[in-house]
Chain A
Amino acid sequence: MRALTILKNAAFILALPLLLILLWWLGTLGGTNFYVPTPLQLIVTFFQTWFGERMVEDVLPSIGRLFAGIALTIAIGIAVGVVIGLFRPLRRVLEPLLEFFRAVPPPVLVPLLMLIIGVNDQMKVTVIVSGAVWPVLLNTVEGVRGTDQIMRDTARSYRMTRTQQLLHLVLPAASPQILTGVRQSLPIALILMVISEMFGSSTGLGLSILQFQRNFAIPEMWSGILVLGLIGFGLSIAFRIVERRILRWYHGLREVQREG
């Protein structure tokens, strides 16, 4: 019975992608379509193009900058968000400003920071952080602000120190919202990684796929899109695993509340 369930699930997961690939294969059967390579062509190109020198020179540095940017985004967003969330006067004064910064479309920061910092790794990481930090920051503010009054009273009545309250109450209580913020900022970070490389740069994934297009290396261009897609996919899977772990209590609690 279990084997049957697994088989059924596998069918559900694979059926549509396989069908789409089949259609794609049929559509490019003539082999003359300029814009779209055949599935086989794409796979061959994918391995030829990216597994070799390009991996070390373009892909890995791009991913490195992306991770550095995400790590800084999360650290800064949570740290600043907690401070603002805990002090109401500060929050009142800063809220409209923060809303404005959040609303600025992050890509416009690329030319701005290029001007200030120049074209280098720091600029690219800064672009990622300065565009992606707002969802984390603002969600942290919201989460910290919403800490339950009774729980706060409980912590105080048991004379928990400020550090203990932060670690055992404020941060865990805000964690569902913080992670919502992180989820929103991951795609922004990825977009900014690509754009920061497309807009005035000499290396990186973003530039590579733009160059393929300019040279009309169409299968290579598609394989680059595939690489970016895989990075995005990997990022969302990794996030989901981490989120499940951190918020196990939260999903369980919600489940109970929904039943009750």
Chain B
Amino acid sequence: MTTTPVRFSTTPRTGAVVLQGLAGIAGFLLLWELVTRTDLISSRFLPPASEVILRLVDYIRDLQFWRDTGETMASWAIGLAIAVVAATIAGFAIGSSRFLEHATRSTIEFLRPIPSVALIPLAVLLFGTKMQSSLLLIVYASFWQVLIQVIYGTLDVDPVAAETARSYRLTRLQRVRYVVWPTALPYLMTGIRLAAAVALILAITAELIIGTPGLGKQIALTQSGGDVTGMYALVLATGMIGVLINLIARFVEKRVLAWHASVRSEAAA
């Protein structure tokens, strides 16, 4: 997101807005139900909404579904945590020295755009269908999201503040703690929010393609087994997890940055 000039408060009545949104969802489900019930779209391709939702309810009552969800979320959480910690440390190390920042720039610019799915064969080769395969992809994809934001953040330090800190003879560690860290924190939070979404994508991808245990693998199984309704129900479930992750990430970001005048927009990469 980039800067938008003055934003007028567009939500004078949140109740009405929520209601309109719910109306949108209800309308969508109704449309879905109608096109399938009238055979406009064959239920072989798209089963009625009601059936999919009922199946989702079945899943929610099923322990196996929760076990799969747990697997997916575990690789998501572990992978994200590794990426965030590693990228934060690396980001601060690189960002705190102009020399390092210059010297690593070309390498980062080359490695970052490599699609992490290119590493799928490598993951399979090294780890087979174990969780480590998922982790390799997740960590690789999320790492860059956080790293780039942290480096931008450390470069964004107000020169006056940096000079003030130096003139008061703060040690390097103190400078990081009191000057660099507060400046970079909003960027870090943005990086984590982006990485959280990317990590889920890669977790599901690994399960789908490689067959590491989790919801993605179940989707692949329903597909090969011809269980169309089950597949749609699981897709719906992954979407809900995605929404949940976005909401939590935004909430945490807002909470952490509550003291900050403006929740920063993501740095242009």
Touch test A–B (CB under 8 Å) = yes
- In the assembled complex, B179 has its CB within 8 A of some CB on chain A: no
> Which candidate, B63-71, B83-91, B101-109, is the interface stretch facing chain A?
B101-109
Contacts A180-B266, A229-B113, A233-B113; A100 near B121 (Cβ below 8 A) = no
Closest B residue to A194 by CB, please name it.
B117
A100, B115: Cβ atoms under 8 Å? no
Task: Give Cα A117 to B221, complex, Å.
Answer: 19
Contacts A112-B235, A213-B124, A229-B118; A12 near B106 (Cβ below 8 A) = yes
- In the assembled complex, A191 has its CB within 8 A of some CB on chain B: yes
**B94-135 near A? 1/0 per residue, CB < 8 Å:** 000000001111110111111111111110111000000000
B113, A235: Cβ atoms under 8 Å? yes
B223 partner residues in chain A, CB cutoff 8 A: 111, 114-115
A195 partner residues in chain B, CB cutoff 8 A: 117, 205, 208-209
- In the assembled complex, A107 has its CB within 8 A of some CB on chain B: yes
A105, B21: Cβ atoms under 8 Å? no
Cβ of B127 to closest chain A Cβ, rounded Å: 12
B21, A96: Cβ atoms under 8 Å? yes
Closest A residue to B126 by CB, please name it.
A35
A115, B5: Cβ atoms under 8 Å? no
- In the assembled complex, B40 has its CB within 8 A of some CB on chain A: no
Task: Give Cα A68 to B138, complex, Å.
Answer: 27
B46, A116: Cβ atoms under 8 Å? yes
B115, A104: Cβ atoms under 8 Å? no
A20 partner residues in chain B, CB cutoff 8 A: 107
B258 partner residues in chain A, CB cutoff 8 A: none
A40 partner residues in chain B, CB cutoff 8 A: none
B208, A191: Cβ atoms under 8 Å? no
B238, A105: Cβ atoms under 8 Å? yes
Contacts A12-B105, A232-B113; A105 near B200 (Cβ below 8 A) = yes
B103, A15: Cβ atoms under 8 Å? yes
Closest B residue to A254 by CB, please name it.
B3
B4 partner residues in chain A, CB cutoff 8 A: 142-143, 146, 177
Task: Give Cα A250 to B107, complex, Å.
Answer: 28
Contacts A111-B220, A233-B113; A93 near B24 (Cβ below 8 A) = yes
- In the assembled complex, A176 has its CB within 8 A of some CB on chain B: yes
B182 partner residues in chain A, CB cutoff 8 A: none
- In the assembled complex, B160 has its CB within 8 A of some CB on chain A: no
A145 partner residues in chain B, CB cutoff 8 A: 10
> Which candidate, A71-79, A162-170, A220-228, is the interface stretch facing chain B?
A220-228
B165 partner residues in chain A, CB cutoff 8 A: none
- In the assembled complex, B6 has its CB within 8 A of some CB on chain A: yes
A191, B17: Cβ atoms under 8 Å? no
Task: Give Cα A114 to B122, complex, Å.
Answer: 25
Q: Which of A14, A104, A199, A228: most chain B CB closer than 10 A? A: A104
The answer, among B24, B119, B245, for a CB contact under 8 Å with A225, is B119
Contacts A104-B235, A194-B117, A213-B125; A96 near B25 (Cβ below 8 A) = yes
B242, A105: Cβ atoms under 8 Å? yes
- In the assembled complex, A24 has its CB within 8 A of some CB on chain B: no
Closest A residue to B124 by CB, please name it.
A213
From 1 to 53 in chain B, residues with beta carbon under 8 angstroms from any chain A beta carbon are 1-8, 10, 17, 20-25, 27-28, 45-46
15 chain-A/chain-B pairs, Cβ below 8 angstroms: A92-B24, A103-B242, A105-B205, A107-B208, A108-B204, A111-B223, A112-B232, A194-B117, A195-B117, A213-B125, A218-B125, A225-B119, A229-B118, A232-B113, A236-B109
